[in-house]
Structure 1
Amino acid sequence: MKNFNPAAVEEERAAMVPPPPAAREEIVDDPPAEHQPSPSSATKPCWKTTTSSGAGVVIGTLMFLALLVGTNWIHHDAGYYSFHPVTDGGSFSRHGRATGRTRSSTAPLVHIPFSCGNDTSSPSLCRRRASPPAPSPSPSSSSSSQKQYSPGVPPPWCPDYFRHIHADMEPWRPTGITRDAVERARPSAEFRLVVVSGRAYVEKYRPSFQRRDILTQWGILQLLARYPDRVPDVDIMFGTGDVPVLRAADYPDHSTAPPLFRYCKDGTELAILWPDWSFWGWPEVNVRPWGALMEDFVRENGRLSWPDREPYAFWKGNPDVSPVRRDLFRCNNDSAAGKEWNVRAFKQDWNAAHRNGFRDSDLAKQCRYRYKIYVQGRAWSVSEKYILACDSPMLAIDTPFQDFFTRGLVAGKHYWPIDPARKCAAIKFAVDWGNAHPGQARRMGEEGSGFAREEMGMDYVYEYMLHVLTQYSALLRYKPTVPEKAVEVCVESMACPRRGREREFMMESRERYVAGRELCTLPPPFTTEEVREMAVRDEQVRSKLLQMEEGH
């Protein structure tokens, strides 16, 4: 690789910025036609650029190109967007992040009761739970993160990644979902969860790794408590593993595939994506629930400003779960061989971490580097949200796997894409460029952490969950009933018998108050043209990055 020359980069400005096409003013409310490409079925990395329209893609891409050449000719807010409904379809404008929520001082809070008592048997606890909630005496006593809409203000549109809910449901839209189709997903599921009249019942089929199943069910119970009488009756099969299990190629008629809820998928799989268990905590590795941990990130980011951080790209984790991670260690600094790739990669020994009380594993305290590397595990990795939250640009090594929120990340705005085939050189170039253009690099870090903080806060996580279940329920062609071997679960039956860190995290992530506002409005699905434009623009960004790396 040639020596990095910032001045030469400046000279590429005119050649790098493509002319924008005309903006599209309409959004089609109907889902894409059958057999047309969709975000869920297209075989492409999860880090592909995603915005709400062709114009949105152009602006997001232009912003990235502007960052690359170190100019300030695009205001950093230009990459934001929000939807606005209109009659007979919809239109959008890009002039703000997902609409903020302000608490109404007059809105009453309804407390969610919780009591273990002396009897910790599941049936007794769940029967007690049926008592009606009592109103809170004072709005100021709320410890919930919920925000309410001001009186007279309609709910805003949900963040852009909610649009992929339509694509997840698309295989079953022509025919609906039968009981037989759900039960055919059993070989791929760890548990079945049924909601009937606001109560949850679980039939367990096989053990999940660690407590993935327990904390996933805990999250659904929080949803039921937060939105009483709002969660529809559903019958879902849930797979808690990492790797794809239901390949689209095995179902030429996608409507015959059994519907399965999972944490991630790639472009070859049919699955309905759901927030992973760690949003409610990961007790085995001492990772706190997302809402509380995000507050830690905000504090730590304020303590160490970006210019004072170490000017390298950092990664720490378990390299034994995938060849991609093991290969990353080739990029570590090797002073003896004269290799400096600007990477600082460290192996995480979880057994040793457990023995020393996780003193060296505080995620919020790992933000002392200017750049953070994201690399997949066996499939996706829950670490992506923690990496985003650091205020440091995320250098994301391309992966075919996606989870529910990464489908809303925009290359060059929220992260810097890294080609795995040339990861060492690509990371070195990204770090060298960022250190030479600190204002633009810092802005990218702030965009990523802003997305994590504002567009995937727990308010939106729960709203995403409820929108998914509402869309799924509308496709069921039968009335869900409680399976013969299912056991009722409720907040008390799950939390009261538990001890230690697991109980602590459940209490920390427990919803205290009923949601006091309407859901954000689910945006329409992507059109086929929008999907095509996103893929084209993403490829242009990556192609230009390669040209820049090869030229310096």
Structure 2
Amino acid sequence: VGSASIRPPATAGRRVPQGNSCNFGQGSRACVRLRGHALFRMAVRNAAPAVLGNALTCHVVAGCDVAAHAASGDTAGGQARGQAWKGLILRGWLRGGLPCGGQRCGSMRAGSCQGSRADVPMHGLLNARGQRRRVLVPPPLLLPLLLLTLLLPTAPPRCAAATSPTTRPEPSPQQAAAARGCSAEALLPLYARIDDDLRHWAAHGISEQLMDKALATQTTASGEKAIGVLFESGVPYVVSPLEEIDRLGHHTGLITAHLRFFEALRETFGPSIPDVEFIVGTADQPAIRLDRLENGALPYPLLRFCKSETHADVLVPDIHFQMRAFNATLLQQLDVINSVAWGEKAEELFGRFSQYKRIIHEHIPTLEVHGAGGENICHHANFELLFCDVREHFMKWAHGVRSSGAPVDVARQPRIKMIDHARYKYLLHLDGQTCSSRLEQLLVMNSVVFKEESGYHAFYHHLLKPGEHYVPVWKEGPEDVLEALKWARAHDDEARAMARRAQRFTQNYLHPDALACYWFTLLGRLAQLQRFEPGRGRRAYPVVLMASEYLGSNAGKAYVQKHGLSRMELPRAKRVEQRRA
């Protein structure tokens, strides 16, 4: 070698954090033996590691090219065996990615890589100014050892097939679903909503042109409260602009929460999630009206938590399930909730509400609402939308009937904790701007829920049956409540059974695995309808940003902190493994 310059490896031009270094343990005997030599120090300092995107790849003087995901905290390394040193001396440069018996040594991690924030170009054995480094002459006693390694036969390092991620085939979507319990018969009725929502594209599918128009007109690209998302090889990416996301108010937190959830889906299902492209919106009101489509045009495929039957939006679970830790705060507190005996519950209709105005699209009969005595309680917000004072009107009406002796306590104040709602036998649910996440919380309380029939639906509402899980009210006006109360008080045993069924419903269909499985199943069926191949190398996106990169950015971290998203209840961060016989 002498003082000859060493040619840069093929990774020239990539960027790595300045100051990166690799520290090797006893697992790399050759590295330990030669670590004090200037040639080795220089090789490690210049050739390892390379940080590319979210994947940490550490090319070491070794016969194996090992990669691991930064998200798992792993760093990759390999054993510096004679074959690699041959490559160094004979070819004049460090060769990363040598074959390893036809496999990749994913389990051979010899140390960890650390670095600072500053970026410098990586040019193999060039210094930061682009000048070639000169290799120091090794000590005389070491030269025979190096020459001896050239003469001795060296087999490729063995890869530990038992733990190497590349030797274990990734589970298929069907295997992942089975391992997670997503194919359980109990959840199949929940997926019926998916098939119904996707019926619009069953015949012709979702074309690339339709998806491009949706990304251009229905996302942040046009100021909407929605983002385009790509799953590729199980990894979520944002494919719509986020430059002005801070102008979206609290929807910034909702969008960031969705990205945290998608990252959790990656950890849960991994590459079993098919390559798929979609748009998820966080605005309360649905956007795609079926009665406004012309000439048989297909609707844009938008995912949203609420819609009416006149809208084509595809329903998904409300992100508030995760943001409010529905499972931990309610489903896992059933002992506390059920400690209030049925006979000890207050026999009055109870409700506490903020004064959100209902948003409805005009000329949709199923959404029309009238006040007591047929009073008009709606006014135009714009040429298409109406604002309706549903909650405010009911609270005023309730105040009047309560003063006349009716057992109705519905107001804004005083507020109580959700878990304390279990003290009341009858609970009122009124939707907010559209669907309210309050409904699923009330269903857990082991009390009779009086549910307004607003015409809006969430992803699980098709399984909720009036008279079985809740008492329907406000079909004509708020006066319906008085007749419903008379029935419930006269049929106490039936009311108690209804309360139990409602609570069991939440246990069966609204637990964390059910929510994750709903998303996983939806993405799989949505992917089957797409008549194009999603992916960074196959599609032209205005933006391609890994969700993890956004969440790890200063802005992403700030939004997580501002909206309390570190406390989100996410699917278990455990990759689904293929079941072995």
What TM-score do the two structures reach when normalised by structure 2? Answer: 0.57
Q: Is the 8 A contact 1:183 1:258 kept in 2?
A: no
Query: Which of 140, 160, 165 does residue 189 from structure 2 map onto?
Result: 160
Aligned-residue offset at 1:198: 1.1
Aligned-residue offset at 1:218: 1.9
What secondary structure, in the 3-state scheme, does the structure 2 residue paired with 1:446 have?
helix
Cα distance in 2 for residues equivalent to 1:262 and 1:254 = 23
Query: Which of 263, 269, 284 does residue 227 from structure 1 map onto?
Result: 269
Aligned pairs for 1:132-171 (under 5 A) are 155-171=184-200
Instruction: Write the letter of the residue equivalent to 2:466.
Output: A
Query: Which of 337, 343, 350 does residue 301 from structure 1 map onto?
Result: 337
Cα distance in 1 for residues equivalent to 2:493 and 2:545 = 55
Partner residue, 2:552: 493
Partner residue, 1:342: 407
What secondary structure, in the 3-state scheme, does the structure 2 residue paired with 1:367 have?
helix
Q: Is the 8 A contact 2:516 2:571 kept in 1?
A: no
Instruction: Write the letter of the residue equivalent to 1:371.
Output: Y
Q: Is the 8 A contact 2:257 2:565 kept in 1?
A: no
Cα 1:204–1:150 change in 2 (3 A) is: closer
Q: Is the 8 A contact 2:180 2:576 kept in 1?
A: no
What secondary structure, in the 3-state scheme, does the structure 1 residue paired with 2:411 have?
strand
Alignment pair present for 1:332 and 2:403: no
Alignment pair present for 1:188 and 2:218: yes
Aligned-residue offset at 1:513: 2.5
Partner residue, 1:436: 490
Instruction: Write the letter of the residue equivalent to 2:286.
Output: P
Partner residue, 2:279: 237
Cα distance in 1 for residues equivalent to 2:405 and 2:208 = 58
Cα 1:127–1:150 change in 2 (3 A) is: closer
What secondary structure, in the 3-state scheme, does the structure 1 residue paired with 2:425 have?
strand
What TM-score do the two structures reach when normalised by structure 1? Answer: 0.60
Q: Is the 8 A contact 1:168 1:273 kept in 2?
A: yes
Cα distance in 1 for residues equivalent to 2:413 and 2:312 = 33
Partner residue, 1:502: 564
Partner residue, 1:173: 202
What secondary structure, in the 3-state scheme, does the structure 2 residue paired with 1:459 have?
helix
Cα distance in 2 for residues equivalent to 1:294 and 1:198 = 31
Q: Is the 8 A contact 2:232 2:535 kept in 1?
A: yes
Instruction: Write the letter of the residue equivalent to 1:347.
Output: R
Cα distance in 1 for residues equivalent to 2:333 and 2:404 = 32
Partner residue, 2:382: none
Partner residue, 1:272: 314
> What does the per-residue CA deviation read over 1:83-134, in whole Å, with 9 as the maximum and x for residues that have no partner?
xxxxxxxxxxxxxxxxxxxxxxxxxxxxxxxxxxxxxx99579950267899
Q: Is the 8 A contact 1:314 1:373 kept in 2?
A: yes
Partner residue, 2:455: 400
Cα distance in 1 for residues equivalent to 2:335 and 2:562 = 26
Cα distance in 2 for residues equivalent to 1:148 and 1:364 = 33
Query: Which of 497, 511, 523 does residue 572 from structure 2 map onto?
Result: 511
Query: Which of 308, 316, 325 does residue 289 from structure 1 map onto?
Result: 325
Partner residue, 1:128: 70
Q: Is the 8 A contact 1:195 1:233 kept in 2?
A: yes
Partner residue, 1:477: 531
Structure 2: gaps of 5 or more residues: 1-51, 57-67, 75-105, 108-161, 164-175, 220-225, 359-388
Cα 1:176–1:513 change in 2 (3 A) is: same
What secondary structure, in the 3-state scheme, does the structure 2 residue paired with 1:191 have?
strand
Tell which structure's C-alpha radius of gyration is larger: 2
> What does the per-residue CA deviation read over 1:156-183, in whole Å, with 9 as the maximum and x for residues that have no partner?
2524232121111111111111122122
What secondary structure, in the 3-state scheme, does the structure 2 residue paired with 1:303 have?
coil
Cα distance in 1 for residues equivalent to 2:445 and 2:473 = 18
Cα distance in 1 for residues equivalent to 2:451 and 2:299 = 32
Aligned-residue offset at 1:469: 0.5
Cα distance in 2 for residues equivalent to 1:476 and 1:414 = 37
What secondary structure, in the 3-state scheme, does the structure 2 residue paired with 1:228 have?
helix
Cα distance in 1 for residues equivalent to 2:578 and 2:514 = 12
Query: Which of 432, 441, 457 does residue 386 from structure 1 map onto?
Result: 441
Cα distance in 2 for residues equivalent to 1:388 and 1:428 = 20
Partner residue, 1:533: none
Cα 1:320–1:499 change in 2 (3 A) is: closer
Aligned-residue offset at 1:319: 1.8
Aligned-residue offset at 1:366: 2.2
Partner residue, 2:141: none
Structure with more relative contact order (C-alpha pairs < 8 Å, separation 6 or more): 1
Instruction: Write the letter of the residue equivalent to 1:169.
Output: L
Cα 1:512–1:197 change in 2 (3 A) is: closer
Q: Is the 8 A contact 1:311 1:431 kept in 2?
A: no
Alignment pair present for 1:421 and 2:451: no
Cα distance in 1 for residues equivalent to 2:295 and 2:314 = 17
Structure 1: gaps of 5 or more residues: 1-120, 137-146, 282-287, 350-359, 519-552
> What does the per-residue CA deviation read over 1:452-505, in whole Å, with 9 as the maximum and x for residues that have no partner?
122221111111111110110001111112334221013973886643762441
Partner residue, 1:462: 516
Q: Is the 8 A contact 1:237 1:261 kept in 2?
A: yes
Cα 1:313–1:227 change in 2 (3 A) is: same
Cα distance in 2 for residues equivalent to 1:398 and 1:263 = 17
Cα distance in 1 for residues equivalent to 2:412 and 2:190 = 32
CA RMSD of aligned residues (A): 3.5
Cα distance in 2 for residues equivalent to 1:490 and 1:224 = 10
Cα distance in 2 for residues equivalent to 1:393 and 1:155 = 29
Alignment pair present for 1:447 and 2:501: yes
Cα 1:246–1:295 change in 2 (3 A) is: closer
Identity of aligned residues (%): 18
Cα 1:413–1:236 change in 2 (3 A) is: same
